[in-house]
Amino acid sequence: MRIEEEKYLELVLQTVHRKLEEVQKKLGDNARDMESMNDYFWENYTEFDEYGYEMFDNKMALKTRLTQQEEYRRDRKRYEKMLDAPYFGRVDFCYDGDEEPEVYYIGVGNLTEDHGKGAYVYDWRAPVSGLFYDYDKGKASFQAPAGIMEGEITRKRQYKIRDGRLVFALETEMNIDDEILQQTLSENGDNRLKSIVTTIQKEQNSIIRDTRHRIMVVQGCAGSGKTSVALHRIAYLLYHNRESLQAAQVLVLSPNSIFGDYISRILPELGEENICELTLDDYAYRELNCYGEAEDKYDELERVLHGCASEEAEYKQNKAYVKELDLFLMQQEWENVEIGDFKYKKIFCPEETISRFFYEKFCDVPMLDRLEKIAEYLIDEQETIQGRDMEDEERQKVLEKINRMYVTMDPLELYNRFLAESGREEQLLTGDTIPYEDVYPLLYLKYSMKELPKRRKVKHVVIDEMQDYSYLQYRILQKLFDCPMTILGDRRQTMGEKQSNVMKFLPEIYGKEIFYIDMKKSYRSTCEIMQFAEQLIQENSETEYVDRHGELPHTREAGSIEQMYEMLAEDLRDGSDCRTQGVLCLTQEEAESVWSALKEKGIEADLLTKDSMKFRTGISVMPFYLAKGLEFDAVYIPDAQKYQTPLEKQAMYINVTRALHKLKTYILLT
Ligand SMILES: Nc1ncnc2c1ncn2[C@@H]1O[C@H](COP(=O)(O)OP(=O)(O)OP(=O)(O)O)[C@@H](O)[C@H]1O
């Protein structure tokens, strides 16, 4: 088998080399053509036809060349990657009615002969590649463009190829051999999340390849591959919808910028461009900065951790508060307008007609856009009578005049009115800082009163850490995006006093379009670490883990804080063979103290704060909430005795489940 496989690898690599040369030549030729087109333009543009046809043709031709150049570059990147490892799997599939099986090699990209029939290598996202992930040997089928193809898998192989050399070829019965998975998982981690194409599991594959459901909600235990799956799903969707979906049209709502940096490698590794990544708090900050400086969720969380959160803060994110706001908004339809006769030069409209327009004809238009709509109607009428268009300046004056019928058009003033009328006078916003508890209510009010520009550019939204978004935030997201969504998270990792189960309210917001999946298998940590994590949560767990073993988690007891830091420094020095080591604390203040103490002991570490943008290899010190979504070869948790309240216990669970191979906790005995 080895000789046969080595021969095939050689053939494939030769083809890749040839393709690389070809594409290199095409890139050069195309660049030269573009240069001459450019020269031609500058030499002749003064003589182009007066209607601009030649100019237009020239521009279009140049644009086509540029797109082509982009495609060639992408191909070059793909071939270069293929020189290292052109494929990782093979399935031999005998179609029903055929005598001989077809052989399919699966890799990170397609490799075809230009006019040949089959391909040397099929992209992992191609329809036929589903066979590799979904089936063991035996009866199987896949969805091809021409319909469902039935048959039998007669052989499956997995390969490890490095630097163009075959390390091993493994005949396997099962869908993905467990040994290869275990070997992949036992490697050291990195400061960037990696692609998992070679070992995608069946349940993960069903999420990646799902195109039927508009709103996909994935609840998955820690380390179940939610983030990986979401990003592979995007790569899959980009591959199959090249014409209608571009990377720039996909938005990931991530918990913080560090996480954004952490996930930035996968898509380029899969041959796709990176997607837009944003935190909802950043978005809210930008939308509200004309009213004051909006706090973010970490400001609120630190208050909770220091025991000084207001009781109302949580209530203000819930359905009951949204109902209060909705009621207030309904009242404002009457209280925020003073309708009278409208007169501007020759335009006249009596009060009763404006009232009728406002409360009947245009009642579906958001309240603060409605008078403008009426003005446009009146302007249209006037233009028809006069038989000419109204000047822009005049038009503006009509709009300004009619808008004076509103008592106020300022959302902040309206929100303050709401606070005052609902008996919350002491919570009025002054315009300096907007407390976190009021950020989203204010945004909700703003978006309920004015038509918001639909983010038409965004065609798919991924929401990671779904449990950390409130009912109110989902209502706002629903107003902002009406595109398909992939929403994922883990209720056990909620950053709140109670676990949040978004499925309690998402069906009410998104209706029947939701498809819910529960992922129960965890891949990140060793069994020993996962068992330790499970003990922290008092509920019956159905979590399964990959059978991978390592050091038992170790709890060390210190008599003084100095001794605890000494132990920590000692363990960090011992762990210097790890690529990433995380010292995870409860609060930012504690992270700063630990970091300073380590610095004094000569340990170089990165201190991460909520404003950090990068996650590097080496030692990182941070509060638990910034470690969400990340992972480290080794995790160290100082002051473990402090994690007592339900929120703190969830924080401990988050910290513990960040560890891939090694976990140490430190208890300070008082
Ligand atoms: N099929 C797989 N093959 C190899 N590695 C995998 C697979 N699935 C997940 N992993 C690995 O498991 C780890 C956890 O994955 P990921 O971060 O996507 O999980 P998660 O569910 O988002 O985790 P959490 O909620 O705890 O942040 C990563 O190192 C990822 O590469």
For every residue of 189-212, DSSP letters joined together read --SSPPP-GGG--HHHHHHHT--S
Q: Which residue's entry shows tokens 């019965």?
A: 173
Q: What does each C-alpha distance from 117 to 16, 106, 543 come to in angstroms?
A: 17, 16, 45
For residue 665, the CA-to-ligand 1 centroid distance in Å is: 23
223 assigned binding-site residue: yes
Q: Is 580 annotated as a binding residue?
A: no
Q: What is the pLDDT of residue 89?
A: 94
Q: Is 227 annotated as a binding residue?
A: yes
**Atom in ligand 1 nearest the alpha carbon of residue 222:** 26
Per-residue pLDDT, 177: 58
Under 8 Å CB-to-CB from 153, ≥6 apart: which residues? Answer: 91, 92, 93, 94, 131, 135, 136, 137, 138, 139, 140
User: So what's the pLDDT on residue 182?
Assistant: 81
520 annotated binding-site participant:
no
C-alpha to C-alpha distance for 245 and 129, rounded to whole angstroms: 21
- Residues ≥6 apart with Cβ < 8 Å to 633: 188, 189, 575, 578, 579, 580, 581, 659, 660, 661, 662
User: Phi-psi region for residue 138, left (φ > 0), alpha (ψ -120 to 50) or beta?
Assistant: left
CA 220 / ligand 1 centre spacing (Å): 10
Distance of CA 179 from the midpoint of ligand 1 (Å):
17
Ligand 1 centre from 626 Cα, in Å?
17
Q: What is the pLDDT of residue 114?
A: 67
The pLDDT assigned to 277 comes to: 92
Query: What is residue 116's predicted lDDT score, i.e. its pLDDT?
Result: 61
C-alpha distances in Å from residue 142, one per residue of 91, 94, 153, 199, 298: 12, 12, 11, 19, 46
Helix (H, G, I), strand (E, B) or coil at 486: strand
Mean pLDDT by 10 residues, the chain (670 residues): 88 94 92 82 76 79 87 90 94 95 94 78 95 92 91 94 92 70 82 91 94 94 96 95 91 92 90 90 92 92 88 92 97 96 92 96 94 95 88 92 96 96 92 92 95 80 95 95 94 86 91 91 95 84 87 96 96 95 97 97 96 94 96 97 93 97 94
What's the token pair of residue 388?
């000419």
CB 232 within 8 A of CB 195: yes
- In angstroms, how far is CA 172 from the centroid of its own chain? 34
Ligand 1, CB within 6 Å, residue ranges: 181, 184-185, 193-194, 196, 199-201, 204, 220, 222-228, 490, 523-524, 629, 631, 657
Please tell me the distance between residue 519's alpha carbon and the centre of ligand 1 in angstroms.
11
DSSP for 541-593, written as a single string: ---EE-S---PPPEEEEESSHHHHHHHHHHHHHHTTT-SEEEEEESSHHHHHH
DSSP 26-41: HHHHHHHHHHHHHHHH
Q: What is the pLDDT of residue 432?
A: 87
**According to the annotation, is 224 in a ligand binding site?**
yes
Q: Binding residue per annotation — 363?
A: no
CA of 359 to the centre of ligand 1 (A): 53
Provide the pLDDT for residue 175. Answer: 56
The ligand 1 atom at the shortest distance from the C-alpha of residue 654 is 26
From 196, 548, 615, give the residue whose CB has the most ligand 1 atoms within 8 Å, as the site to mutate: 196
